[in-house]
Structure 1
Amino acid sequence: MTNLEDALGEIDVLAAAETTDAAPTKSALDGKINEHFAGAVVRKDLVKAVRGNAVVPSYVLEYLLGQYAASDDEATIQAGIDSVRQILATHYVNRNEHMLVKSEIRRKGRHRVIDKVTVTLNEKNDVHEAEFENLQVKGVIIDDVTVKQNPKLLVGGVWCICDIEYFHSDDQRVVPWILASLKPIQVAGVDIDHYYEARRAFTTEEWIDLLMQSIGLNPEQFNERGKLIALTRLIPFVERNYNVVELGPKGTGKSHTFSEFSPNGILISGGEVTVAKLFVNNASGRIGLVGYWDCVAFDEFAANRRTDQNLVNVMKNYLANKSFSRGTSIYGAEASMAFIGNTTHTVPYMLKNSDLFDELPDAYRDPAWLDRIHHYIPGWEVAPIRSEMFSTGYGFVVDYLAEILRAKRSEDFSDKYKDYFTLDSSISTRDQDGIRKTFSGLMKLVHPIGEASEEEVRALLEFAIEGRKRVKDSILRIDATMRDNPIHFRYADQAGVWHDVATLEESQYPQLYRRDWDAMPGGDGGSGDKATSVPAAPVDGHGPSVGDPTPSADAPLAEGHRDFSAGQKGVSYETLLLPYLQGASKITITDPYIRLPHQGRNLADLLSLLAAAKDDAEEIDVDLVTTEEHKVEFKQRQLLMLKAIKDASDAVGVRLGVRLDDTIHDRRIETNQGWRIDLGKGLDIWQKPSDNPFDFGRNRQEFRVIGSAFTVHYVKIPVTPVEEHAQ
């Protein structure tokens, strides 16, 4: 049996493997990009073409592509791809081939490698020693000058191109490896004046699309709001001491920007953080990650339940004051911080039962810590990554853009909105800081010269206000003492007209978002159980005949069976299945044949019925057990289809789990309320849909024709109260 994670992992691999030999058609924007940024841009789909089995960040591959394939000439691009592939084949160290590379170095005496290098100080011998991650060689002496020029070698490591020599010695204490040269993979420098000059040739929309393509995303797959959300992930690279949180479903690319985009940022697991690693080691006095990186991102932050309270306290001070104290010393740093995590509940569920920081460890749900966050990216608005969402157009070589953004960190655009707008005076200083820093970062990205129209400034300011309001409103849910001074998140234009700003979820779920504070957990209102009406179905042991009206909601559900004949119409899941599923919080569907598109449509229809019948703030867990296609060409289609159905279902609070089991034969549905529905034909009861796109049966099941005769049995199985109410 294959579990959900394995299935989705396979889907990702298959989706990533989708390539085309034909070069994509160059758009008018691509032509303009190459005209104004020749030599600094690369076609983004080339990274996938050259990656092969090289497990390296995208910026490493784009560095090489920028050397050999930064052109719009197809012949040059193909020659460059061949060169990069040859370089990777010859010099990249694959971890499982490290012995082969070591033998090659020994045989030749000297060999060039591409590997991640980390340096430590050997206090006993008073020397710096390098460790090569994939080559699995450590203790290599590296000179102090090289370490001083590249301090990141000491914290986190750097991808480098190195020449390594081999010299054997009879002295067992001497490492035979000698570092002849080391070059970090990064551009030598950028002409920022040319960057400004070329920016003037692009409209705002074109420039945003160029930035989207530069981070590897297809702008045609995103609306304006989606593009702003994607670009907000870049603010920590362009704004000093910027603190951002993004919580959302899995598979939306939250960590991609921080792991692949820039050599100036580092992504670490939330569980691997210590005070010594992040800030300063008291024993050695060495500054940690915040002293060397522009952005420190914490992956799987919400899943980290082991929390060091001392770390929380030191971090709290740093997030607020850009400094931290250890012992008797006070240190300052400029690193921005991004906290990334997955959500397991829908937005209305969180609004009804808790707050939007519900997934964070308890130690980080401290209002004082949360108040240091400048912006909350609504990760639930980001669509799960699909193959068509990746860009095939031209964008900046990642390293080039990373250096531009680093150069912009010393500038401050936080007051640029004041030419047109004024913030409400009730907005606290800390709230204003969050708004202004987000606005400043977006301005540097979209309008790097600092010039923008009133409407362009308005769009960025409203987005910045919304992100800080999302933080503050959640804090007010957690800490009742902060509700005494009302805050109006609004701004006035030059005419003196005030404009209120609301978060999107506030507009979508006003009854949940604005409910009385007394109804919060711990208050008098609480979050009571939903009263669900359950319509009855079969009666007298056999059930109503097809076409009978749905029984009264007051009538009890009954055991029995229903028979159906081929060619019948008027059958739908709403009358056949929903009455027995409504109100259940756990449902298991066993059907070996969810493979073809129309079978997937049937499943999606049932899940959408469940979503429509439940309360917005409730969630249902649905497990699908089905069999896997064995032919490769059909297997990929099936897995991608199941992934798409899961994404759509999860988004509305019907959390779909998928298990692939080739041993199943029965077709049934079971609920935690004790009902088992034995399905003679499974969910696939109708004939395949016609080719007529206007066939009413495509949207209404009642107009579909039953394919072959079948029987459905309804069986009641006693359950314990614990099982019935299990979530």
Structure 2
Amino acid sequence: MSISTPAAHSPLDQKILEHFPGLVVRKDLTTELKQNAVVPTYVLEYLLGQHCATDDPEQIQDGLESVRRILAKHYVHRNQAELVKSTIKDRGSHKVIDKLTVSFNEKAGFHEVEFTNLGIKKVPIDDSYVKRFPKLLVGGIWAITDVEYELPVDPKASPWQIAGLKPIQVAGVSFEDFLEARSQFTTDEWMDVLMQSVGFNPEPFTRRGKLLTLIRLIPFCERNYNLMELGPKGTGKSHVYAEFSPHGMLISGSEVTAPKLFVSNANGKIGLVGYWDCICFDEFAGKDKKVDKTLVDIMKNYMANRTFSRGIEQLSAEASMVFMGNTQKSVAYMLKHSHFYEPLPDKYIDSAFLDRIHAFNPGWEVQPVRHELFCTGYGFVVDYIAEVLKHLRTEDFTGLYKQHFEISSEVSTRDQTGFEKTFSGLMKIIHPDGKATPDEIGELLEFAMECRRRVREQILRIDATFKANDFDYKPLTGGAAVRVQTPEEKQYPQFANLRPGLVDSSGGSDPAVDEQAATTTEPTTGTQVASQPSATSVSAGSELKEHHLVVPENSKGWSYRRIFGDYVQGCSGIIIKDPYIRAFHQIRNLVEFLRMVNELTPQGDEVSVHLVTGADSDAPEKFERQMENLNQVKDSFAETATPFSFEFDASPNFHARSITTNHGWKISLDRGLDIFQWFESSALNAATNLQEARLTKGCEVSFIRVEKED
């Protein structure tokens, strides 16, 4: 298969190729190869960097064929493991690309290696390899290995032998050459280079969007840096830690134990923190996850002091910690009813643990990963930039802002340490020579302070002993102090200052809070900010009654809000039963109903909507399309005030259509939500944007009182 070559390189691509020859690769090549080989990105780009680090189309095509041949011949697919073993046996020796993990055989007194995909275990390995590549012992490494087969004299011995081992990583990096090449790029250009190197097309991202992405690189260049990112799924939170660097380890947050992470008191073996620069806990959120309180206590000490104990002995390490997890509620809901840490396991909702977090990256601001976001231009071979970031761990840029700005004395030491480490990391990533204009330094300082303020503001909601304080900085050249606030504080000022005494742990809010939320003075501007008004229909405020409504055929002026608005307003749960939410226009109607409910929901509250419908059984492809569309609706509304779920009812008697609220109303619908006639869908057509502009189908609606749900 031939990969098309871009018609012309962008000026940025040309500049990258000019100043970093042999160290960059077209990122779409990685994407293409990754479809056929389940290996980390840095493994593929190690090979691409050797064969495709050019802009010559013919050389790229030849290089791709070489990489494909290497992968086809030497990469071990799990389902072809027996074939590879047979090849090794027939030839006597064969190179394989696989992940190797080493353990020590205490009884026999030597090290043994396990091949992840090849499936062979207890293969003896020379101690010299273990000493040169200690990560073999913890988590394992990808390598190109010469494996030999020979029947041993001792039947208990392994017939497999290792004749050579080469880890997949760059041989060396000249940091001076890197700095010289970096100096040829403007700040904007360099941020785009880094975005492309991570694998994203920079054009769709704002400058802030780029910072929200690049902050994920700080744990690779800053020692003992603690980062948390919670947000919707599908935003690529763990991509960097799974694919970007051979110095990072991605593990499930529920799989870690104290011996695995720190040290085993049984055998004295140092855990992951002793071997990896960055450890990312994926899927860290989840109330149902079992957490060892002892582990939490050890982590608190390590995150604060870099130390952990083995008996009476104190050990230290430099691994950074990253905590990634999914949120289930909207930002406004969390601010009004709880806090941003609410999705975490209860044992981690500990103010002492959370106060060790240097930055909270707002994952809800990060764009969901879409096809058009993937880079088709040139970026660094990831292993090269990973080595550069590893070198930068030896640098300290925490105080570079002090020649231009001073921090308010009210800011606590731990807060200052937190944002200084974030500032240092961003400087290393964007300005690795330490040189930046005062405006550029101020931008990174303010972003770093914001990320630490988010940590502190949310801790104040769970621990009344913590003191609230402002995050201010002031230019040394004069001028007014800058008060740093998070975007969510500015967007939802009525919820920004809620404290533990006002938050009900059961999930409700104190009436005083709701009264306070009606109007609030924005602290930095003094502007009166009203809470989002609840949308109402024409009869809002009057007592609702049971009645029967007839919508005439071929009439206009009707909308879901006019028909249903009064009767769904004020509930917290809705069940829609309609066997025919199948075709695209029917699912579009569902989305418009969800939008209507969302608009009627007071800011900070939530109304869950559950659909019971029938499966489109006319053809398998139609059901697949129905599932795909409903799942898309579910995912897109997950972080709104109207979370959506659905199920299928296969009952042959499932015909009646209704909407039932949990505050006492059932709405019987003879046509379901499908009350509008066909119209031409166009962005310029009023009917596309206004239901009132559409012609109706004749239908009847009955409003019936039912018993309220608890």
State the partner residue of 2:532. none
CA distance, structure 1, for counterparts of residue 562 and residue 579 of structure 2:
23
AA at the equivalent of 1:711 = E
CA distance, structure 2, for counterparts of residue 399 and residue 386 of structure 1:
24
SS in 2 for 1:293: coil
1:488 aligns to 2:478 (yes or no): no
Cα offsets for 1:12-54 (capped at 9, x unmatched): xxxxxxx996444532211221121121111111122112342
Cα offsets for 1:593-622 (capped at 9, x unmatched): 556655444332221211111122112222
Cα offsets for 1:254-290 (capped at 9, x unmatched): 1111111111000111111111111111121111100
AA at the equivalent of 2:575 = T
Q: Which stretch of structure 1 is more off in the superposition, 598-607 or 353-362?
A: 598-607
Q: Which stretch of structure 1 is more off in the superposition, 553-562 or 350-359?
A: 553-562
State the partner residue of 1:218. 201
Report matched runs for 1:620-639 at 5 Å: 620-625=607-612, 627=615
CA distance, structure 2, for counterparts of residue 679 and residue 189 of structure 1:
70
Number of residue equivalences: 681
State the partner residue of 1:252. 235
CA distance, structure 2, for counterparts of residue 575 and residue 222 of structure 1:
39
SS in 2 for 1:165: strand
CA distance, structure 1, for counterparts of residue 496 and residue 233 of structure 2:
24
State the partner residue of 2:660. 670
Equivalent position to 1:689, from 666, 672, 679: 679
Q: Which stretch of structure 1 is more off in the superposition, 677-686 or 314-323?
A: 677-686
State the partner residue of 1:540. none
TM-aligned CA distance change 1:466 to 1:272, over 3 Å: same
CA distance, structure 2, for counterparts of residue 432 and residue 312 of structure 1:
23
SS in 2 for 1:137: coil
TM-aligned CA distance change 1:66 to 1:659, over 3 Å: farther
TM-aligned CA distance change 1:67 to 1:632, over 3 Å: farther
CA distance, structure 2, for counterparts of residue 478 and residue 390 of structure 1:
39
AA at the equivalent of 1:33 = I
Task: For structure 2, list consecutive stretches of 5 or more residues without a partner in the other structure.
Answer: 516-536
Equivalent position to 2:601, from 614, 618, 624: 614
Q: CA deviation at 1:503?
A: 0.6
SS in 1 for 2:321: strand
State the partner residue of 1:699. 689
CA RMSD of aligned residues (A): 2.6
SS in 1 for 2:47: helix
Q: CA deviation at 1:581?
A: 2.4
CA distance, structure 2, for counterparts of residue 715 and residue 610 of structure 1:
19
1:556 aligns to 2:544 (yes or no): yes
Cα offsets for 1:277-315 (capped at 9, x unmatched): 111111211111001100011111122631212111111
CA distance, structure 1, for counterparts of residue 306 and residue 442 of structure 2:
29
State the partner residue of 1:543. none
Cα offsets for 1:547-598 (capped at 9, x unmatched): xx84353222415353431x22111010122333223322233445556655
AA at the equivalent of 2:347 = A
1:576 aligns to 2:566 (yes or no): no
State the partner residue of 2:258. 275
State the partner residue of 1:506. 489
Q: CA deviation at 1:113?
A: 1.3
State the partner residue of 1:712. 701
AA at the equivalent of 2:473 = Y
Q: CA deviation at 1:490?
A: 0.8
TM-aligned CA distance change 1:476 to 1:102, over 3 Å: same
TM-aligned CA distance change 1:159 to 1:674, over 3 Å: farther
> Do the aligned residues in 1 keep the contact of 2:197 with 2:379 (CA within 8 Å)?
yes
TM-aligned CA distance change 1:571 to 1:298, over 3 Å: same
State the partner residue of 1:546. none
CA distance, structure 2, for counterparts of residue 466 and residue 292 of structure 1:
31
CA distance, structure 1, for counterparts of residue 175 and residue 656 of structure 2:
66
TM-aligned CA distance change 1:607 to 1:522, over 3 Å: closer
State the partner residue of 2:41. 58
Cα offsets for 1:222-263 (capped at 9, x unmatched): 111111111011100010000011111111111111111111
> Do the aligned residues in 2 keep the contact of 1:608 with 1:649 (CA within 8 Å)?
no
> Do the aligned residues in 1 keep the contact of 2:248 with 2:278 (CA within 8 Å)?
yes
AA at the equivalent of 2:572 = S
State the partner residue of 1:657. 645
Report matched runs for 1:586-597 at 5 Å: 586-591=573-578, 594=581
TM-aligned CA distance change 1:592 to 1:600, over 3 Å: same
> Do the aligned residues in 2 keep the contact of 1:280 with 1:288 (CA within 8 Å)?
yes
State the partner residue of 2:533. none
TM-aligned CA distance change 1:631 to 1:439, over 3 Å: farther
CA distance, structure 2, for counterparts of residue 691 and residue 282 of structure 1:
67
TM-aligned CA distance change 1:550 to 1:427, over 3 Å: closer
TM-aligned CA distance change 1:415 to 1:552, over 3 Å: closer
CA distance, structure 2, for counterparts of residue 57 and residue 259 of structure 1:
7
State the partner residue of 2:355. 371
Task: For structure 1, list consecutive stretches of 5 or more residues without a partner in the other structure.
Answer: 1-18, 532-548
CA distance, structure 1, for counterparts of residue 398 and residue 624 of structure 2:
48
Report matched runs for 1:270-349 at 5 Å: 270-303=253-286, 305-349=289-333
AA at the equivalent of 2:65 = D
AA at the equivalent of 2:253 = G
TM-aligned CA distance change 1:594 to 1:75, over 3 Å: farther
Cα offsets for 1:38-93 (capped at 9, x unmatched): 21111111122112342221111111111111222222222222222222222221
AA at the equivalent of 1:367 = S
Equivalent position to 2:156, from 173, 193, 198: 173
CA distance, structure 1, for counterparts of residue 621 and residue 204 of structure 2:
26
Cα offsets for 1:108-136 (capped at 9, x unmatched): 22222111110000011110000011111
State the partner residue of 1:151. 134
CA distance, structure 1, for counterparts of residue 593 and residue 688 of structure 2:
14
Cα offsets for 1:172-214 (capped at 9, x unmatched): 3111111121111111111222211111221111111111111
State the partner residue of 1:411. 395
CA distance, structure 2, for counterparts of residue 105 and residue 287 of structure 1:
35
SS in 1 for 2:107: coil
Report matched runs for 1:92-107 at 5 Å: 92-107=75-90
CA distance, structure 2, for counterparts of residue 367 and residue 101 of structure 1:
52
Q: CA deviation at 1:669?
A: 3.1
Cα offsets for 1:485-511 (capped at 9, x unmatched): x52201001214211000111111111
Q: Which stretch of structure 1 is more off in the superposition, 250-259 or 350-359?
A: 350-359
SS in 2 for 1:352: helix
SS in 2 for 1:348: helix
SS in 1 for 2:323: strand
1:442 aligns to 2:432 (yes or no): no
AA at the equivalent of 1:139 = K
State the partner residue of 1:455. 439
TM-score, normalization by structure 2: 0.90
SS in 2 for 1:221: coil
> Do the aligned residues in 2 keep the contact of 1:628 with 1:660 (CA within 8 Å)?
no
Report matched runs for 1:185-224 at 5 Å: 185-224=168-207
State the partner residue of 2:94. 111
Cα offsets for 1:367-408 (capped at 9, x unmatched): 111111100111111232221121112111111110010011
Report matched runs for 1:355-366 at 5 Å: 355-366=339-350
Report matched runs for 1:26-41 at 5 Å: 26-41=9-24
1:85 aligns to 2:74 (yes or no): no
CA distance, structure 1, for counterparts of residue 408 and residue 187 of structure 2:
28
Q: Identity, % of aligned pairs? A: 51
State the partner residue of 1:42. 25
CA distance, structure 1, for counterparts of residue 569 and residue 509 of structure 2:
23
TM-aligned CA distance change 1:71 to 1:588, over 3 Å: farther
CA distance, structure 1, for counterparts of residue 129 and residue 177 of structure 2:
31
Q: CA deviation at 1:422?
A: 0.7
AA at the equivalent of 1:280 = V
AA at the equivalent of 1:604 = V
TM-aligned CA distance change 1:520 to 1:588, over 3 Å: closer
Q: Which stretch of structure 1 is more off in the superposition, 593-602 or 32-41?
A: 593-602
AA at the equivalent of 1:701 = Q
